[in-house]
Amino acid sequence: MRRRSRSTGMMERYTSDGGLTLTSMMDILTTLLFFVLKSYVSGGEVTVPPPGVTLPRSTVNADMHTSVVVAIDHDGIMMDGERVATVEEAIATDELMIAPLAKRLAVARALMDNLAERKGEKHTVTRLATIQGDAGIEFRVLQKVMYTLDRNGFPDIALAVLKKA
């Protein structure tokens, strides 16, 4: 009788109401959530190359800054996600300046100057441009884009690359 009462007590102690024990799973999911959220904020400026652009690989370790982005794929030259000229147009002439890109850069520069003026920034605004070029493009296209950027008020140029593992 005494033994029975002890076993009955143990049964009562371990009997649950049928609900799932989710605490350990919650721990895992919470850790995963923090990990994913951290991967968003650890890299500073986050950018995704446009579809069709495979960035070259490099060992460099400098982070990207907010800037005007010019992307070059095998067919065209894009600025801020919008196609402004084709590669054929760019290489058709001997001139280093790409006129449609220059026009877009002038607009962007005017906007940046206007914004700086409204903010009351008296010092010269640093104009940085980032080139997201496909690894397979020819240097002459890159050369013309860089020249156009330099001559249109964007002398600081950054070349976007993928970090080598």
Partner 1 sequence: MRRRKQRKELVNTDLKLMPLMNIIIALIPMLLLSAVFLEVKVIETSLPRDADASAAAVAAEPATPPLDLAVHVRGDVYVIEGHGVAPLLVPRRSASAPDSAATQLLSQALRAIAASHPGTSEVRIVAESRTRYQEVIALMDVARGAGLVNAALEGAGDAAPSDVAPAAAEGM
Contact residues toward partner 1 (CB under 8 A) are 17, 19, 22-23, 25-26, 29-30, 32-33, 36-37, 39-40, 43, 46-49, 55-65, 96, 130, 133-140, 142-143, 146-147, 150, 155-163
Nearest CB to partner 1, comparing residues 33 and 106: 33
Nearest CB to partner 1, comparing residues 79 and 145: 145
Report the C-alpha gap between 112 and 108 in whole angstroms.
6
Helix (H) or strand (E) holding 99: helix 99-119
CB atoms within 10 A of CB 81: 8
Residue of 86, 116, 117 lying closest to 99 (CA atoms): 86
Nearest CB to partner 1, comparing residues 114 and 126: 126
Nearest CB to partner 1, comparing residues 45 and 117: 45
Closest approach, Cβ 33 to partner 1, in A, equals: 6
Closest approach, Cβ 50 to partner 1, in A, equals: 12
Closest approach, Cβ 85 to partner 1, in A, equals: 17
Closest approach, Cβ 132 to partner 1, in A, equals: 8
Residue of 157, 139, 162 lying closest to 58 (CA atoms): 162
Nearest CB to partner 1, comparing residues 11 and 28: 28
Residue of 43, 12, 152, 37 lying closest to 144 (CA atoms): 152
Residue of 158, 147, 165 lying closest to 62 (CA atoms): 158
Report the C-alpha gap between 115 and 65 in whole angstroms.
18
Q: Which residues contact 85 (CB under 8 A, 6 or more apart)?
A: 76, 77, 98, 99, 100, 101
Closest approach, Cβ 163 to partner 1, in A, equals: 4
